[in-house]
Structure 1
Amino acid sequence: MADLFASDTPSAETGTGTAPRPLADRLRPKTLAEVIGQQQVLGDEAPLGVMLRSGSLSSLIFWGPPGVGKTTIARLLADETDLHFVQISAIFTGVPELRKVFEAAKIRRQNGQGTLLFVDEIHRFNKAQQDGFLPHMEDGTILLVGATTENPSFELNAAVLSRSQVLVLERLSVEELESLTARAEAELGRDLPLDAGAREALLDMADGDGRALLNLIEQVAAWQVAEPLGRDALANRLMKRAAKYDKSGEEHYNLISALHKSVRGSDPDAALYWYARMLEGGEDPRYLARRLLRMSVEDIALADPQAQAICMHAWEAYERLGSPEGELALAQAVIYLALAPKTNAGYMAYKAARRAAKQHGSEPPPKHILNAPTQMMKDQGYGAGYAYDHDAEDGFSGQNYFPETMQREQFYQPVERGFERDLKKRMEYFENLRRKRGG
């Protein structure tokens, strides 16, 4: 079920002179039908079900939190399609190792066997390394299956995404965790020494992570107790982690959405709550720092230009101080962003300008704003009639800077909030001058 199930390293068999096999290894699914959960991906009418039934498997990106079966499903896909399974981690693999993987896959292909290359933490590869996969994906040398806990839209090259299908894997529900627990108890040959409340607390502690649950079950199963333990006793034996991990099971990308929308909604208390929830869940503070910076760019922007600097300083403070003091700096950034004036005018202006650029992408700039470093260019009218703004009244010439065949457009429409109120006044000032001077 969990990623641990698909380790490349063979587990030691139980026997004289060998270590016992971990519970997670013993419960490793042997077929896709044995996988608990992820029916939105594995069901008969779900993407992988349809691909396998049609015999046409494309490159895939599995996006989801840890412990939900990304590695397991990738390995089982290789088994069900007779592809050779190769697993690498972007954390430990460099360019020389990648070359060896691709060369071995080429040899396999020449001998009539394809290769399913599973890349764990694929978002850790930089853009150039990601580009290195493209020719091997296109010529069929490898079928790429990447796994990431980060949003592929932000972390993966557009070229890789265009050649792959992104499948979202979800944290296991309480019912699915209970099914996994029952399967573990059947393997162990006995029930866990927990009463109903403690059993519920154990599932809460796993927080949708199948691998974490099996590790916890293995600890609990080893205890020698006369009576089933209650919730409090379980919390004491596991260093009170039950209270710490008593969550409702949302995926981390749902929590970051809650944080982002609380900031956008100018609610510092809710924003701090979701920020704390993510830290308690083990989220990397650097990920949160990056997302806070994104919020300052997307939702505050020029309504408060200081917001971006506040986020950068908080991020730097975390890098210098570490935890827990650095997390306080990020918390202060959360409060500042939540209370800052909001605008998406810059974001909307950027999108409108991109649309216009696609529509008028071949139009040249007007000749009067082109440089003329050669006599031939001067003869063609380059630079002719250019008005140097510093020589004009008020330092503003009012000339046209759009393509001559394109009507003037106003992409940026600042709001009456924060610093953008001043920018709006400046735009109106220049627009009035432009009209007076016939620009």
Structure 2
Amino acid sequence: MADLFADDLPPAPTPGAPREDAPLADRLRPRTLHDVVGQEHLTGPEGPIGRMVAAGRLSSMILWGPPGTGKTSTARLLADAVGMRFTAVSAVFSGVADLKKAFAEADLAARAGQRTLLFVDEIHRFNRAQQDGFLPFVERGTVTLVGATTENPSFALNAALLSRAQVLILHRLGAEALNRLLDKAEALEGPLPLDADARAALVASADGDGRFLLNQAETLYAAQIAEPLDPAGLGQFLQRRVAVYDKDREGHYNLISALHKAVRGSDPQAALYYLARMMTAGEEPLFLLRRLVRMASEDIGLADPQALAQCLAAKQAYEFLGSPEGELAIAQACLYVATAPKSNAAYKAYKAAARSARETGSLMPPANILNAPTKLMKDIGYGKDYAYDHDAPDGFSGDNYWPDDMTPQTFYEPVERGFEREIRKRLEWWDRKRAERRED
């Protein structure tokens, strides 16, 4: 499948003269890193990519972000910016033979003094063994690896590969960045046949995907529409539900913020209203379900343990029924979390515990609670004097479970609401028992 390598393709047009018949997204592809929109946190002077380019040397990296955020363009421009040879493979179409060819060519280029940037699109689609195959070539410096993925690298990529590459996160394009893309399109093709509200709706419908936005714009240009479309006309023309904007033009993030805060504020009527607003505007139902699950853990927690179960059941019901029947399950979950007793005690406790773990993460647990599967481990005290709680009075030994060099901490403080009221009583009872044990 050598024909899939970038070096074997016909020469690309020069940046100043794109092919006239190329798709709009290709004709508007950025020509320098400065032209990449929406990723200034990476490409700017203080960003990691900006700093590497200024130094003239790149380290291997994984570009993680949603579709249409500029991963491929960024990789190509990186090679140009530091004078490296650019080679690309796609994990969807390429196999071991393609990788061997790429590494062999990179070896030859290195002997001639030319460094190679190997761009691997959809790198998460390579299996673990194939990912391991990159390691010796990255370690020797044969290639500088730039992988692109839409999946969480923590789960999709080998730990060994991640340890040799910096993970850089590309953000979904916000409204400002998407509007800049449309401005560039209009500078090239002329005004879009949309009124202001329809233009805003088109931007919202892209859901952060710049490529999708430009493809939609190209469809509008090709139709040669005489009169500007309003949001309803745009939705009918594209046969796609687009976001419904009221006179204040509240967008995606404003609405999800309003939904979350209405749930947190225990206002089920307002929460249901904002949920319906987003569903009507064409919001992705699984996005809403993810946020409801988050609310169940962040704002309710153990004040009502059923909140999380209700949200996960709604996800299962929606996946089983689909739209529109499954949307009722989402509404039910929304009403449940809005009417549940509220507590962020679990959320605060985890943040405090994570902060403490970062500060004391190398401390060993006390020897008495360590497992001792071997004689040597038993001989050095692992598991010695462990108190088995089920054998203790009241099923509670009151033993110490904290590292010897660490003072016991209090992270979780349940509130006097809902089920956490009962948990607080239990914790207080256990605290009294521990105090009695220390006194004995």
TM over 0.5: yes
Q: CA deviation at 1:310?
A: 1.3
Which string of whole-angstrom CA distances, capped at 9 and with x for unpartnered residues, describes residues 123-174 of structure 1? 6778898777666544434434344557778877777388315254433526
Contact 1:289–1:311 (Cα < 8 Å) also in 2: yes
State the TM-score, normalized to the length of structure 2: 0.71
**Alignment match, 1:231:** 230
Alignment of 1:164 onto 2:170: no
**Alignment match, 1:176:** 180
CA 236–46 in structure 1, closer or farther in 2 if over 3 Å, else same: closer
RMSD: 4.7
**Alignment match, 1:67:** 68
The separation in 2 between residues aligned to 1:121 and 1:281, in whole angstroms, is: 30
Letter in structure 2 aligned against 1:166: L
- Picking from 62, 85, 91, the partner of 1:83 is 85
Contact 1:12–1:21 (Cα < 8 Å) also in 2: no
Alignment of 1:314 onto 2:314: yes
Which string of whole-angstrom CA distances, capped at 9 and with x for unpartnered residues, describes residues 189-233 of structure 1? xx4583xx63662353133654334333333333456x5445379
- Picking from 181, 196, 199, the partner of 1:202 is 199
The separation in 2 between residues aligned to 1:53 and 1:376, in whole angstroms, is: 54
The separation in 2 between residues aligned to 1:236 and 1:377, in whole angstroms, is: 69
The separation in 2 between residues aligned to 1:372 and 1:152, in whole angstroms, is: 34
**Alignment match, 1:359:** 360
User: In structure 2, the residue corresponding to 1:417 is in which secondary structure?
Assistant: coil
Letter in structure 2 aligned against 1:310: Q
User: In structure 1, the residue corresponding to 2:412 is in which secondary structure?
Assistant: coil
**Alignment match, 2:394:** 394
**Alignment match, 2:54:** 53
User: In structure 1, the residue corresponding to 2:88 is in which secondary structure?
Assistant: strand
The separation in 1 between residues aligned to 2:337 and 2:295, in whole angstroms, is: 8
The separation in 1 between residues aligned to 2:128 and 2:261, in whole angstroms, is: 29
User: In structure 2, the residue corresponding to 1:145 is in which secondary structure?
Assistant: strand
CA 128–419 in structure 1, closer or farther in 2 if over 3 Å, else same: farther
Letter in structure 2 aligned against 1:164: Q
Q: Which moved more, 1:153-162 or 1:112-121?
A: 153-162
Q: CA deviation at 1:303?
A: 1.6
User: In structure 2, the residue corresponding to 1:433 is in which secondary structure?
Assistant: helix
List gaps (5 residues or longer) in structure 2: 1-5, 14-19
Q: CA deviation at 1:250?
A: 6.0
Q: CA deviation at 1:317?
A: 1.1
User: In structure 1, the residue corresponding to 2:343 is in which secondary structure?
Assistant: coil
Letter in structure 1 aligned against 2:101: A
Q: CA deviation at 1:420?
A: 1.1
Contact 1:61–1:147 (Cα < 8 Å) also in 2: yes
**Alignment match, 1:323:** 323
The separation in 2 between residues aligned to 1:295 and 1:23, in whole angstroms, is: 40
List gaps (5 residues or longer) in structure 1: 1-5, 14-18, 186-190
Q: Which moved more, 1:202-211 or 1:148-157?
A: 148-157
User: In structure 1, the residue corresponding to 2:180 is in which secondary structure?
Assistant: helix
**Alignment match, 2:243:** 244
Q: Which moved more, 1:30-39 or 1:108-117?
A: 30-39
Alignment of 1:109 onto 2:106: yes
Q: CA deviation at 1:86?
A: 0.9
How do 1:289-438 and structure 2 match up within 5 A? 289-353=289-353, 355=356, 359=360, 361-363=362-364, 365=366, 367=368, 389-402=389-402, 407-437=407-437, 438=439
The separation in 1 between residues aligned to 2:403 and 2:420, in whole angstroms, is: 27
Q: CA deviation at 1:48?
A: 3.5
Q: CA deviation at 1:337?
A: 2.2
Letter in structure 2 aligned against 1:182: E
The separation in 1 between residues aligned to 2:303 and 2:77, in whole angstroms, is: 51
User: In structure 2, the residue corresponding to 1:84 is in which secondary structure?
Assistant: strand
CA 333–152 in structure 1, closer or farther in 2 if over 3 Å, else same: farther
Q: Percent of pairs identical after alignment?
A: 51
**Alignment match, 2:17:** none
Q: CA deviation at 1:298?
A: 3.7
The separation in 1 between residues aligned to 2:128 and 2:347, in whole angstroms, is: 24
Letter in structure 2 aligned against 1:85: T
Which string of whole-angstrom CA distances, capped at 9 and with x for unpartnered residues, describes residues 91-113 of structure 1? x36xxx46445433421331125
Letter in structure 1 aligned against 2:168: V
CA 436–162 in structure 1, closer or farther in 2 if over 3 Å, else same: same
User: In structure 2, the residue corresponding to 1:324 is in which secondary structure?
Assistant: coil
**Alignment match, 2:3:** none
Q: CA deviation at 1:76?
A: 2.7
State the TM-score, normalized to the length of structure 1: 0.71
User: In structure 2, the residue corresponding to 1:57 is in which secondary structure?
Assistant: coil
User: In structure 2, the residue corresponding to 1:325 is in which secondary structure?
Assistant: coil
Letter in structure 2 aligned against 1:52: V
CA 88–372 in structure 1, closer or farther in 2 if over 3 Å, else same: closer
Contact 1:60–1:167 (Cα < 8 Å) also in 2: no
The separation in 2 between residues aligned to 1:373 and 1:131, in whole angstroms, is: 32
Contact 1:58–1:165 (Cα < 8 Å) also in 2: no
CA 295–133 in structure 1, closer or farther in 2 if over 3 Å, else same: farther
Letter in structure 1 aligned against 2:203: A
